[in-house]
Amino acid sequence: MTLERLFADRYTPGGGLVHAQGIGGQLGDQAWGMLAAVRAYESGIGDRWLEIAIELAGHLEDRYADQELGGYFDRSGGDELGRLGDPVKPLGENSVAAIALIELDALLGDPEQLHLSRARRALESVASLPRQYGLMAAVFARALDRLRPPVKVTTGSEELAQAAVLAHPYAVIEPSGEDRAVVCVGTICLAPVSSPAAVAESIKEATAQATSA
């Protein structure tokens, strides 16, 4: 699998992802790598991808974060690589990092919402840039839209997982060993359901409840 080969060649625990052989990692490598790991876990190909996503989130915070103002610089502290002599906070990479952090937060279900908080700060740190980018700022808008209460569907059924994604574009899929699906929106979880139509209806119902709460 391409993802397996990429991480085998470019990733080390604690060291993140390098850009290429002999070239250290940059923000884009970590942000896209974290999103890929989150999505790999959601697809059900292994729990280790969740562990990698968590590790990359920590690496991102330790090496690339602006600890005072939030958001992430294009290169790690002490690294001479970068588009400019001074580090910058690129809109696209911060937006991708935010999307990955939001999905990771939904999967972990941590009441403190640490990763969601980091995602918010990342988006706030580049909020003045979208007008300069025009249509290229679409990824920022997509990330911002995901700050609404997350839709998480826990299931081991590929059919029900597909139904969830069709019913809601931002549905986060948590793999399980169950054939049924449990739909949660924010802190609201409904009873398990067994059909694609019921998944869609549960998402609609839970979303309405979360919005009115």
92-116: per-residue pLDDT in tens? 999 999 999 999 999 999 889 999 9
Q: How confident is the model at residue 168 (pLDDT cuts 50, 70, 90)?
A: very high
Question: b/e per residue, 7-35, with b = 16+ CB within 10 A?
Answer: beebbeeeebbbeeeeebbbbbbbbbbbb
Residues 6+ apart with CB under 8 A from 126: 71, 89, 90, 91, 94, 95, 140
Please give the domain boundaries of the chain with CATH numbers for all domains. 2-145 (1.50.10.20), 151-212 (no CATH)
Q: What is the pLDDT of residue 43?
A: 94
Say yes or no to pLDDT of 83 above 80: no
Distances from the Cα of 144 to the Cα of 12, 95, 139, angstroms: 30, 8, 9
SS3 state of residue 186? coil
Q: Across residues 173-180, what is the average pLDDT?
A: 96
Tokens encoding 1: 């699998």
55-66: per-residue pLDDT in tens? 999 999 999 999
Say yes or no to pLDDT of 181 above 80: yes
Say yes or no to pLDDT of 123 above 60: yes
If you average pLDDT over each of 9-18, 83-92, 197-206, which comes out highest?
A: 197-206
